[in-house]
Homo-oligomer: A and B are copies of this chain.
Amino acid sequence: MSESSEKVYPAPSVRRLPIYLSLLRKMRDQGVEGISSTRIAEQLGLTGIQVRKDLAMTGIVGRPKVGHSIHELIEHIERFLGWDVQQDAILIGVGHLGTALLGYKGFKQENLNIVATFDNSPDKIGKKILGRPVYAMKDFRKFMRGKGISLAILTVPVQFAQETAEIMVKAGIRGIWNFAPIQLQVSDEIIVENVSLSSSLALLTQKLSHQS
């Protein structure tokens, strides 16, 4: 692993990249070929400096007065995010939330491909849900062998989240997208990204209650 590959980028900047991507793809589809960071900033209500800093992370170099080629920008952002190649993932816990994610159309443009799902419910095992097979959790390790899948989406009820995470890591998962409201205890080299509904709700209700 090289020095640069371990670099930590500021989370707010990385979080903005999909927003740029969505704007750039829309413009590309409209036949636009080039754009300046100033114009991107205007369109998204950001500052030019923010946009230039964010885009610089991806390694792209803008040309003064000319701006960026939209095609190149898209390519750089996708490569930086790892969205330039299809990423296979498995999903564990096919309840309502898991099913919602299976049906989420946005993953296509993020090149995320949920290949299989796992659950403990006898009602679901052996069936297909939104086109994906549901396997028994006890077969997880066997399924994973030799597949090279490193990404998992965790949508089990909170009381099963920790033990499930441990099973996942033992079977070779390196990145966990965690939707359970719990801080998972896993070793440092495992990347965990938490989707925290409480934190998001906190931002909303705090503003709302201080407004009224």
Contacts and interface: CB of A to CB of B under 8 A. Distances in A.
Interface stretch (A31-39, A67-75, A81-89, A115-123): A81-89
Given A191-B211, A193-B201, A206 B9 contact: yes
Interface residues of A, number: 60
A150 B204 CA distance: 11
A114 to B, nearest CB: 12
A141 to B, nearest CB: 20
A193 B204 contact: yes
A56 to B, nearest CB: 15
A202 B14 contact: yes
A209 B81 contact: yes
Interface in A58-112: 80-83, 87, 95-97, 99-101, 103-107, 110, 112
Number of copies: 2
Contacts of A208: 82, 150-151, 174-175, 191
Nearest to A99: B96
Contacts of A145: none
B103 A18 contact: no
A18 B206 CA distance: 11
B193 A7 contact: no
A1 B211 CA distance: 7
A105 B125 CA distance: 25
